[in-house]
Structure 1
Amino acid sequence: MYIYNVTINIDEAVHKEWLTWMETHILDVLNTGKFISAKFTEVLVKEDLGGKTYSVQYTANTKQDLEDYYKEDAERLRMESVKKFGNKILAFRTELKLIKEFYPTNVSN
């Protein structure tokens, strides 16, 4: 599995509007059919540049799914955020390859 991580810093002036918009945007990305799930998280470390920071982790089954997303959908979906929020957001993207997941072996209640 592959994780496409997008970390976004959002200006306080558009924060609430952006949060609402992100729910639709994440579904738009998932509806491309290239990803099987997404996690939307708030980064709890304060940024020197201010604003609030979030991360969205999209999970893809294969590297080809990720490549197809870049080729067929990424630019259009990125431009939607640029048109709506301009320089009020700053995003960077990373790709991760899942090596192995671990779970507790002994969980006591």
Structure 2
Amino acid sequence: MIVYNETYLIDEDIHEQWLQWIKANHVPAVLNTGTFSDSKILKVLNSPNEGITYCVQFYTEDPAKYEDFMLYHLNPLSIAHNQAFENRFVVFNTLMQQLD
């Protein structure tokens, strides 16, 4: 299983609004690309950073689908997120493999 992880550090004063937007807009949009079969939203409990840290994970069995997602879908989804929360977050992405 391939896990695409988006880690967000969100300004504390907007994190509830951000979480609602992620659940209502971003996660459905990512899943609607047909790339991923499932998703999870996690809150980091021991982040050393100011603000609130969340991880949004998406799962696929097919590495080629992930590559297509990065080429064709990530940029428009990132633009939508940036427009909604400009200068209120930091994000980094990681690609992982589930071993068991």
The answer (yes or no) to whether the contact 1:47–1:53 under 8 Å persists in 2 is: no
Q: Which position in structure 2 is the counterpart of 1:23?
A: 23
- Are 2:92 and 1:92 equivalent residues in the alignment? yes
Please list every run of 5 or more consecutive structure 1 residues that lacks an aligned counterpart in the other structure: 102-109
Structure 1 residue 27, shift from structure 2 partner: 1.1
1:11 aligned onto 2:11: yes
Q: Secondary structure at the match of 2:87?
A: helix
Indicate yes or no: 2:83 matched with 1:83: yes
Equivalences, count: 99
Whole-Å separation in 1 of the counterparts to 2:65 and 2:17: 30
Post-superposition CA distance 1:35-66 (Å, at most 9, x none)? 00001000001333x11000011001111010
Q: 2:56 is matched by which residue type in structure 1?
A: V
Report Cα offsets for 1:63-107 as digits up to 9, x if no partner. 101001011100000111111101101000000122x31xxxxxx
Unpaired runs of 5+ residues, structure 2, are none
Matched, 1:72 2:78: no
What CA deviation, in whole Å up to 9, does each residue of 1:18-41 have, x standing for no partner?
A: 011010211110111000000100
Q: Percent identity?
A: 33
Structure 1 segments of 4+ aligned residues over 6 angstroms from their partners: none
Structure 1 length-normalised TM = 0.86
Secondary structure of the residue that 2:33 maps to in structure 1?
Answer: coil
Inter-partner Cα distance in structure 1 for 2:21 and 2:54? 13
Give the CA deviation at 1:12. 1.2
TM-score (ref. length: structure 2): 0.93
